Amino acid sequence: MYLDINGEQFRILKAEPQGAWLVSCDAPGPPRFVDQRELDAYPRAPAPEPCTAEQGEAPQTAAEQVRMALIQPLLDNGDCVSDPAIRRQLAAEAAQEHGTTSRRVLRLYYQYIATGAVMKHKSRERRPPEYENYYKRAIQTFYYSAKRPTLRDTYDLMLHQFFTDPDGHLADKRPTWPAFRHYFYDQAYHRRSERTIARDGLTNYQRTARPLTGSAMAWKDHIGAYQMDATTADIYLVSRLDRTKVVGRPYVYLAVDTATQLIAGLYVGYEAGEEAVMACLANAAMDKMEYCRGYGIDIDAADWPSKGLPSEVITDQGRDFLGGRMKELCLRYGVTCEALPPFRPDRKGLVEKMFDLMQGRYKPILRGRGVIEADAQERWAVDYRAQASLDLTQFTQILIHCILYLNGRRVLDSLQMSPEMFQQGVAPTAAGLWQYYAAAGKSALLELNPQEVYYMSLPRKTCKLTRKGISHDHLLYINGGFLASEEGQRQIGQKVSIAYDGQSVREIYLVLDGAYIPFRLAPQYAAYDGAARAESELYWRADRRHKRDFQKLEDEGRVELIQKLTAIRDEARPEADRRQTGADIKAHRTQERRKHQ
| Residue 45 or 465, more confident | 465
Q: How many domains does the chain have?
A: 4
> Does 241 lie in the same domain as 201?
no
CA distance 187 to 108: 31
The answer, yes or no, to whether residue 52 has pLDDT greater than 80, is no
Residues facing residue 95 across a β-bridge: none
The answer, yes or no, to whether residue 313 has pLDDT greater than 50, is yes
The answer, yes or no, to whether residue 160 has pLDDT greater than 50, is yes
Say how many Å lie between the first and final Cα of the chain, rounded: 152
> Does 240 lie in the same domain as 356?
yes
CA distance 34 to 8: 15
The predicted-structure confidence for 403-424, as pLDDT tens digits, reads as follows 999 999 999 888 888 888 888 8
Tell me, yes or no, whether 565 lies in a domain.
no
> Does 379 lie in the same domain as 523?
no
pLDDT at 9: 85
Task: Name every residue whose Cβ is closer than 8 Å to that of residue 229 and which is 6 or more positions away in sequence.
Answer: 253, 254, 315, 316, 345, 348, 351, 352, 355
> Does 189 lie in the same domain as 296?
no
Residue 96 domain boundaries: 2-115
In one-letter notation, the amino acid at residue 333 is Y
The predicted-structure confidence for 23-38, as pLDDT tens digits, reads as follows 888 888 899 888 888 8
Q: DSSP 3-state assignment of 256?
A: strand
Closest CA to 155 of 131, 130, 181: 181
The answer, yes or no, to whether residue 47 has pLDDT greater than 80, is no
Q: Which of 115, 142, 176 is the last residue of a domain?
A: 115
| Residue 344 or 522, more confident | 522
CA distances for 142 relative to 152, 181, 592, angstroms:
11, 14, 112
Q: Which of 408, 425, 451 is the last residue of a domain?
A: 451
Average pLDDT over residues 293-302: 93
**Average pLDDT in the chain:** 85
The predicted-structure confidence for 519-537, as pLDDT tens digits, reads as follows 999 998 888 887 888 888 8
What DSSP character marks residue 140?
A: I
> Does 255 lie in the same domain as 291?
yes
Residue 270 region by backbone torsions, left for phi larger than 0, else alpha for psi between -120 and 50, else beta = alpha
Q: Which of 518, 536, 554 is the last residue of a domain?
A: 536
Tell me, yes or no, whether 560 lies in a domain.
no
> Does 333 lie in the same domain as 432?
yes
| Residue 44 or 281, more confident | 281
CA distance 597 to 592: 9
What DSSP character marks residue 572?
A: S
Contact 59, 106 (CB under 8 A): no
Tell me, yes or no, whether 593 lies in a domain.
no
> Does 303 lie in the same domain as 197?
no
Tell me, yes or no, whether 310 lies in a domain.
yes
Q: How many CB atoms sit inside 10 A of residue 578's CB? A: 6
Which DSSP string do the residues of 295-327 spell out, in sequence order?
TT----TTTS---SB-SEEEE-S-TTTSSHHHH
Contact 321, 228 (CB under 8 A): yes
> Does 325 lie in the same domain as 243?
yes
> Does 476 lie in the same domain as 351?
no
Q: How many CB atoms sit inside 10 A of residue 45's CB? A: 16
CA distance 513 to 365: 49
- For position 443, which CATH number holds? 3.30.420.10
> Does 271 lie in the same domain as 166?
no
> Does 401 lie in the same domain as 315?
yes
> Does 428 lie in the same domain as 489?
no
Closest CA to 25 of 2, 42, 6, 41: 2
Task: Name every residue whose Cβ is closer than 8 Å to that of residue 290 and which is 6 or more positions away in sequence.
Answer: none
What DSSP character marks residue 49?
A: G
Tell me, yes or no, whether 124 lies in a domain.
no
- As a whole-number percent, the residues of the chain with pLDDT over 90 amount to 34
pLDDT at 288: 92
Tell me, yes or no, whether 542 lies in a domain.
no
pLDDT at 477: 93
Burial of 178 (0-12, 13-18, 19+ CB in 10 A): exposed
CA distance 383 to 388: 10
pLDDT band at 216 (very low <50, low <70, confident <90, very high): low
Residue 368 region by backbone torsions, left for phi larger than 0, else alpha for psi between -120 and 50, else beta = left
Q: Element (H or E) spanning 269, and its range?
A: strand 263-269
